[in-house]
Amino acid sequence: MDLRSLINDIASQADDFLEGAASRKEARAGIDELINADYPQLSPGERNQVAEAVMKILENEGFFEFGTSGRSRGESDADSSNGE
């Protein structure tokens, strides 16, 4: 199995399967869960390598940063309006 392709595939799906993840720790747990469920043939070392690489891609893309509107990723306009 080509790990680079797998890493890119998982990173490209992150917006969907990590929706609602409030921290890097939760994101890593979600990535680990996806890898364990969908790619059980990978060795523990390969799973860790894939998860680390996906996290690095997400970090580089600003996945965990606050948006310019002051909301965290995944928070809707209704959530940030405070009832106004």
For the whole model, what pTM was predicted? 0.76
Residues 6 or more apart whose CB falls under 8 angstroms from that of 47 comprise: 32, 35, 36, 39
Domain boundaries, the chain: 3-80
User: For the stretch 43-82, what's the b/e string if a residue is b when 16 or more beta carbons lie within 10 angstroms of its beta carbon?
Assistant: eeeebeebbebbbebbeeeebeeeeeeeeebeeeeeeeee
Q: What is the pLDDT of residue 66?
A: 59
In the chain the beta strands, taken as DSSP E runs, fall at: none
Say what the pLDDT of residue 78 is. Answer: 41
Q: Is the pLDDT of residue 26 over 70?
A: yes
In the predicted structure, residue 11 carries a pLDDT above the cut 50? yes
